[in-house]
Amino acid sequence: MSDGEFGPLSVPRRMLLGPGPTNVHPRVLRAMSTPITGYLDSAYFEILEEISEMLQIIYQTRQTTMVVAASGSGGMEAGLNSLIERGDKVIMCSYGHFCDRMIEMAGRLGAEVVSVRSEWGRAMDPALLADAISANPDVKLVTAIHAETSAGVLQPLEELSRLTHEAGALFLVDMVTSLAGAEVRFDDWEIDYAYSGPQKCLAGPPGLSPVAVSDTALDYVRNRATKPSSWYLDIDLISRYWGPEHVHHHTSPVSMMFGLREALAMALEEGVDNRIKRHAHTAAGLRAGLNALGLNLPVPAAERLDQLTVIEVPAGIDDNAVRQQILNEYAIEIGRGLGEFKGNKWRIGLMGESCQPQNVLAVLAAFERVLPLHGFEVAAGAGVAAASIELGKHEIPVP
C-alpha cells in the first residue's frame, strides 16, 4: 500500500444504545474542534476552573473537583493508588463486573482485600458490609459502585457510607454511570473519593475521568507514610495542577477538556434534576415496550438503573446474532452481557444524548422485526405501542 492510499477518516454512524459511550451533541463536537491552546496558558486555566466549578454543582460538593486525564478505569485506579498503601486492609463490595475490576486493581497494589460478594442483578444488603467490618475492624478503605452497569443495578450508598465512617475508614465510590443521570450527593453522603466518565450521562467524549475528593481524603494522600506507587495517578499531584497555582504535572488533553466543558455546560443548562427525570421517564417507556414484547427484565424494579436496562436473552436465542443483526440493519448498538451475564443478557443504555424517546421507539421496532427471525415470536407493533403510551405520560424535552 502506498503512502497516499489511506484517504480521509470514515466511520459509520451509529445510534449508541449500549453501556457507553453515548452519542455526542454537535455542540460538544464543535467545542472539541476549537483551536488548541497551551495547557499552561492562563486562558486554559480559566476553562479548567470552569470545569471544576461545574463539577462541584453536579457532584453536589464544596470540596475538591478535578479531572484525571484517563478513562473511568483510570479514575478508579487513581483513587485506589492514592488511598491504599501496601498491606492496607480494604473491604470491597462486589455485585458486578466492574466491582471485580476494582478488586483486581487493589490486589495489584498490594492491599489486603476483603471482598463482600452478593448476587449479580441485585443491590447489596448493607448488613453484609456491617458483618465484614465487624470481622475486620482495622479496615482502611471501603469501595462500592453506585451504578453497576454490568448488572443494571443502582446501589444505595448512605448506609454503606455510615458504616464505613463509623469504622474510621475512607469511602471510595464509582459514579461512572450515575453522574448526571441519578441523584448524586457527594457531601451529604460523606463520600471521600468518587470518579466518573463523561461518555455516559454527561454525553461527552470518552477518555477522561471527572473526580471529587473530600478534604479528609486529600489530607490522607498528602500525609501518607509512602508515596503512591503511580506518579501519574497521584491525586495529590493532579490536584495541584487543578489548584490555584496550577503546578505542572502532565500534558492536559486540551481538546477533550473543551468537549467536557461544553457537555457540563449543557447538563447545567438542562438542569441536573430535569436530566435525571428525562432518564427515568425514557427508561420507563423502554421497559413498558420490552414487557409488551414478552422479554424478561431480571433486575427488581426498585433496584434498576434508569440509565441501563438488563434484558434476559430468551432461551434458544443467539445473543450475538441478534445484536449483530440490529447493528448491521438498523445501525443501533446494544450491549452484550459481561461476566456472569455473558451470553445470556442484553444491555440497553439510555444515557445523555442517546436518552431520547425516538431512540426507544427505534430499538423496539428493531426487536419487533429481528426477534421473530430468530425464533422468538412477538406481536407486531406491541412494543412500540406500549412504549408510546408510557412516554406520552410525561413531557420529555429533547436537550
Query: Per-domain residue ranges for the chain?
Result: 26-268, 271-391
185-237 residue pLDDT tens: 999 999 999 999 999 999 999 999 999 999 999 999 999 999 999 999 999 99
For residue 372, the one-letter residue type is P
Fold match flag (26-268 vs 271-391)? no
Please tell me the distance from the alpha carbon of residue 193 to that of residue 79, in angstroms, as a whole number: 7
Counting as low any pLDDT under 70, the low residues of the chain are 1-2, 398-399
3-state helix, strand, coil in the chain (%, to 5): 45, 15, 45
Left (φ > 0), alpha (ψ -120 to 50) or beta: where does 271 sit?
left
252 burial type by CB count under 10 A (0-12 exposed, 13-18 middle, 19+ buried):
buried
pLDDT given for residue 399 in this prediction: 66
Helix pair angle (235-242, 72-83), 10° resolution: 110
Please tell me the distance from the alpha carbon of residue 215 to that of residue 42, in angstroms, as a whole number: 26
Q: Are 348 and 286 in contact (CB under 8 A)?
A: yes
Backbone angles phi, psi at 294, to 5 degrees: 80, 20
DSSP string, 71-82: -HHHHHHHHHHH
Q: Are 151 and 303 in contact (CB under 8 A)?
A: no
Pick the closest to residue 293 from 364, 203, 237 (CA basis): 364
Please tell me the distance from the alpha carbon of residue 215 to that of residue 176, in angstroms, as a whole number: 21
pTM: 0.96
Task: Give me 381's grid cell.
Answer: 407493533
pLDDT given for residue 1 in this prediction: 55
pLDDT given for residue 394 in this prediction: 87
pLDDT given for residue 6 in this prediction: 85
The class level of CATH for 271-391 reads alpha beta
156-183 residue pLDDT tens: 999 999 999 999 999 999 999 999 999 9
pLDDT given for residue 2 in this prediction: 67
The class level of CATH for 26-268 reads alpha beta
DSSP string, 84-137: --TT-EEEEEESSHHHHHHHHHHHHTT-EEEEEE--TTSPPPHHHHHHHHHH-T
